[in-house]
Structure 1
Amino acid sequence: MGHSFFFVLCLPFLFLGTCYSLSSVEQERDRIKELPGQPVNVGFSQYSGYVTVNQQAGRALFYWLIEAPASRGPESRPLLLWLNGGPGCSSVGYGAAEEIGPFRINSDGKTLFLNPYAWNNLANVLFLESPAGVGFSYSNTTSDLYNAGDQRTAEDAYTFLIKWFERFPQYKHRDFYIAGESYAGHYVPQLSQIVYQINRGVDNPVINFKGFLVGNAVTDDYHDYIGTFEYWWTHGLISDSTYKLLRLACDFGSATHPSSVCMKALSIAQAEEGNIDPYSIYTGTCNDTSSLQRNLRGHYPWMSRAYDPCTERYSEVYFNLPEVQRAFHANITGIPYPWKGCGDIVGNYWADSPKSVLPIYQELISAGLRIWVYSGDTDSVVPLTATRYSIDALKLTTITNWYPWYDNGKVGGWSQVYKGLTLVTVTGAGHEVPLHRPRLAYILFRSFLENKPMPR
């Protein structure tokens, strides 16, 4: 699956003299005719299926391509690859179904409704479940699930792209961007680095890579943890004494694993924070009651359709429906475990994870690639303070100092433009910015594609 060669298949017995490229046959095989429960006449094409990235081990990655609507000219739109982090979490379950995709899943777990701020209105969007063992992606070699890591994830993702472009040759040489959030703060720059290094010196490369966009991104262990502890303290989530203890006990700049003293301090912090959603500290947690969603509508007016903290549960119902898996051409090998938003195994046995991806930033900034970093300011897991410390460590020259950006006369967040990097904050948004503030995230993505500053 995922052929890296090309030949033509002729079917004179059907249409005299008509020939089909293998890629078009494979595309048609992957075409989604209709998803169960989707609104009718959506106006855009969808494809999904598998690309084998390692024949010997039997590793195959699952993708879902959602093209721009026909009315918006998908053939002239760029291609965006979206990656979720974890490690071990699904880009289909989070990025596509909760954040930037065209569909949202209703609370019945069976029907879908449209997202008016879907990013495929601006670009053709490719979601990849990575690494093998996440979502519908699989490996026939069990040990692969227990020794995944950053390096192999990046290498497999690059192999996927090369083979995917053979299957979809109409996207070769098209402007191409990579985006993601959370632990994809590692995946996105690491994959970007591979693409950039292989493209270097190549005229008109097949993967016409232009830049990347990351949100609430894990970036640098030392600065991430310093910034996270500071966020907890300044937002009243932990006591003064616990903040001091965390600063003393958790030396993430030198230790690979947190010490027992640090783990104890983290446990104290968690107890002090209480029963909150750490990914969105001012919204309620999922408690299985329908009243919660109704109450949110009044208390959080900035949230489109009211943020529903139970969305992950709806995804797990929907993507495990046999008719949904058939429509997606998914689970064709009979995976022995149910689809989950975040896998139990992959993230718990992570083989390699560098302490910092800032050296990659430095390399790609020097290469002149477009790099934007955004942050929802109500996330306490990878908070804005962590991102600001990490960016500050790059010691970049400021082009445009900190300023508020606006949507319809209201502040949508703040931005600072550096030489080689743009930072954007989104007010009132948690860890998954497009979930909490879909309209503002849409404006952000549009500005990124146009390479224009956020609107003043």
Structure 2
Amino acid sequence: MRIKSMIVWVLLVILLGLCAIPTHEQRQHNALKKLLKVKRSHGIKPTQWSSSSHLSPHHDEELLQKEKDRIEALPGQPSNVTFQHYSGYVTVDSNRGRALFYYFVEAIDDHSTKPLLLWLNGGPGCSSLGYGAMLEIGPFRVNPDCRTLSVNPYAWNQVANTLFLEAPAGVGFSYSNTSADYKENGDKRTAEDSFAFLVKWFERFPQYKHRDFYIAGESYAGYYIPELADTILNHKNKSADWFINLKGIMVGNGIMNAETDGRGMDDHVWTHALISDQTYEALKTYCNYSTEAPVSPLCDRFENKTAEEIGYIQDTDIYAPVCMQSSSSPHNLTTHSESNHASNGYDPCGEKYLYSYLNNPDVQSAFHANITTLPYPWDFCSDIVSPDTWKDSPWSMLPIYNNLIANGLQILIFSGDVDIVVPVTSTRYSINALKLPIESPWHPWMSDGEVGGYSVVYKGLTFATVRGAGHQVPTFQPARALTMLNSYLQGKPLPLSKHS
């Protein structure tokens, strides 16, 4: 028994050496919480929303570039891959040399008929390749050896062609040849650049023109997604020959409205017994989440107190284990059995494996990443695209949601119910502020024979919770997320019983 334990110990030490685990990472939820605080302190100006034209003519070189973007195989990729995948850059501003990185995965079967889905992560400043593609809905997961990949059995390319965009410039592998661009990012330019990307990307992949098109994502993408959808609709109304067939949007644990986002978090952490009654009462007394008032010193004090009382847990999923791997303490390891969250295969150290994988030069070459141009290593969230330099952000998405509803888009807002970054209470308060008529009242929906969550269908919008899911719903509850996506793309209600 002792020999067996020694062998396991040696293997774990070897794995740690292979992974080259960093001492810390910037995370999507940290960037979001910081931006919300800066915004409430009036450090970011409200967006004056309008969209400029980025329509571009057809270029034959875009078609040629498609073949250059094809990925032969990623290092450590399983041998039984049957779909095509691509990655590379689309230049959105040739004068300044601003280029956005994408990763595109065709559907496993019938890619010529299945819809196209664009996935966006938030931050602002966080990577859709790192989070969305490699930890959530993409076809692969990085193994603990940090060098090989395994198949994600719940990948969304089972039902849709999936496109991941790293935006704005300065995020992930996206860059600009004009360093001043990194200080000029904000909501408005992110929407304009993302739209410019799409126009050129459709020239590179013209077979997806007029295909049913959806935009999905999470966190601060709760702003990115409606803003991009609104930009697309504005251009559609100006063009007689339109090819972006936007059908709908899906937003998971996304911010919607500055006032209700803050109030909902306080209520959620208290009702989940994470903070004391006294701190909760102080937050209600001293924190004014309206857009009119900056953060008071007393509010700031008790928000810090909240973090102290909650302690060291995953605020993206309050019941999930935390990763105990440490580059400085190899004795502090999480075993595979301890890493699994329920039975969904969630590994809390997955970000560490992926960080090492995506900073491998062979992997970067396979992804066609222009690493010689990047002034920074790849990371989950950018140090140069941050709330400290973010130029503009709306106080609320509710006016844009009203416009999207009026234009008949299919809207699904979903929420993992054990996230405290953008909790389900915040989302419910924001949706209630829209004052939409209810068409189908609160009811459970089913996935794999059990309750997957709960749903309300409003006129123009469906809201769904995902039971037992955190901030990144497809990471924590992949099967339930895929069930939800399947119903959404088919235009059907979420399953009401295990027999539906």
- With normalisation by structure 2, the TM-score equals 0.85
User: Structure 2 CA distance, aligned partners of 1:196 and 1:155?
Assistant: 13
Q: Assess if the C-alpha contact under 8 Å between 1:3 and 1:166 holds in 2.
A: no
Residue type of the alignment partner of 2:141: R
Residue 276 (1) aligns with residue 313 (2): yes
CA gap of 1:252–1:323, structure 2 versus 1, over 3 A, is: same
Residue type of the alignment partner of 1:133: G
User: Structure 2 CA distance, aligned partners of 1:342 and 1:201?
Assistant: 36
Structure 1 residue 328 displacement after superposition: 0.7
What's 1:17 paired with?
none
Structure 1 residue 260 displacement after superposition: 2.6
**Aligned ranges 1:240-279 → 2 under 5 Å:** 240-255=277-292, 257-279=294-316
Residue from 284, 291, 300 that aligns with 2:334: 291
Per mean C-alpha deviation after superposition, the further-off stretch among 21-30 and 381-390 is 21-30
Residue 411 (1) aligns with residue 451 (2): yes
What's 2:369 paired with?
330
User: Structure 1 CA distance, aligned partners of 2:385 and 2:310?
Assistant: 28
Residue type of the alignment partner of 1:397: P
Q: Structure 2, unaligned stretches of length 5 or more?
A: 1-53, 326-331
**Aligned ranges 1:64-213 → 2 under 5 Å:** 64-69=103-108, 72-200=109-237, 202=239, 205-213=242-250
Residue 40 (1) aligns with residue 79 (2): yes
Residue type of the alignment partner of 2:436: L
What's 2:468 paired with?
428
Q: Assess if the C-alpha contact under 8 Å between 1:315 and 1:341 holds in 2.
A: no
User: Structure 2 CA distance, aligned partners of 1:388 and 1:124?
Assistant: 30
User: Structure 1 CA distance, aligned partners of 2:179 and 2:61?
Assistant: 31
Structure 1 residue 354 displacement after superposition: 0.9
Deviation track 1:360-401 (CA, whole Å, cap 9, x = no partner) reads 000110111100000000101100000000000000000000
What's 1:228 paired with?
265
User: Structure 2 CA distance, aligned partners of 1:103 and 1:147?
Assistant: 34
Residue 399 (1) aligns with residue 439 (2): yes
What's 1:317 paired with?
356
Identity %: 53
Deviation track 1:392-425 (CA, whole Å, cap 9, x = no partner) reads 0000000000000112321110011000000011
What's 2:38 paired with?
none
Deviation track 1:269-311 (CA, whole Å, cap 9, x = no partner) reads 00000111111100111110543441244xx43x422x21121
Q: Assess if the C-alpha contact under 8 Å between 1:282 and 1:378 holds in 2.
A: yes
CA gap of 1:212–1:239, structure 2 versus 1, over 3 A, is: same
What's 1:441 paired with?
481
Q: Assess if the C-alpha contact under 8 Å between 1:219 and 1:358 holds in 2.
A: yes
Q: Which structure exhibits the higher relative contact order, with contacts defined as CA atoms closer than 8 Å and separated by 6 or more residues?
A: 2
Structure 1 residue 240 displacement after superposition: 1.2
Residue from 345, 352, 356 that aligns with 2:396: 356
Residue type of the alignment partner of 1:359: P
Q: Assess if the C-alpha contact under 8 Å between 1:62 and 1:129 holds in 2.
A: yes
Secondary structure of 2:112's counterpart equals helix
Deviation track 1:159-190 (CA, whole Å, cap 9, x = no partner) reads 00011111111111111110010000000000
Q: Assess if the C-alpha contact under 8 Å between 1:63 and 1:126 holds in 2.
A: yes
Deviation track 1:9-32 (CA, whole Å, cap 9, x = no partner) reads xxxxxxxxxxxx544321101100
Residue 451 (1) aligns with residue 473 (2): no
Number of equivalent positions? 436
Q: Assess if the C-alpha contact under 8 Å between 1:23 and 1:169 holds in 2.
A: no
What's 1:18 paired with?
none
Structure 1 residue 214 displacement after superposition: 0.4
User: Structure 2 CA distance, aligned partners of 1:171 and 1:48?
Assistant: 16
What's 1:344 paired with?
383
CA gap of 1:275–1:223, structure 2 versus 1, over 3 A, is: same
CA gap of 1:252–1:209, structure 2 versus 1, over 3 A, is: same
User: Structure 1 CA distance, aligned partners of 2:443 and 2:237?
Assistant: 35
User: Structure 1 CA distance, aligned partners of 2:294 and 2:65?
Assistant: 45
User: Structure 2 CA distance, aligned partners of 1:414 and 1:447?
Assistant: 14
Residue type of the alignment partner of 1:58: G
Structure 1 residue 439 displacement after superposition: 0.5
Secondary structure of 1:244's counterpart equals helix
Secondary structure of 1:170's counterpart equals helix
Residue type of the alignment partner of 1:365: I
Q: Assess if the C-alpha contact under 8 Å between 1:145 and 1:345 holds in 2.
A: yes
Report the RMSD for the aligned CA atoms in angstroms: 1.6
Q: Structure 1, unaligned stretches of length 5 or more?
A: 8-20
Secondary structure of 1:158's counterpart equals helix
Secondary structure of 2:386's counterpart equals helix
Per mean C-alpha deviation after superposition, the further-off stretch among 336-345 and 183-192 is 336-345
User: Structure 1 CA distance, aligned partners of 2:456 and 2:309?
Assistant: 33
- With normalisation by structure 1, the TM-score equals 0.93
User: Structure 2 CA distance, aligned partners of 1:78 and 1:130?
Assistant: 22
User: Structure 1 CA distance, aligned partners of 2:336 and 2:468?
Assistant: 17
Structure 1 residue 203 displacement after superposition: 5.2
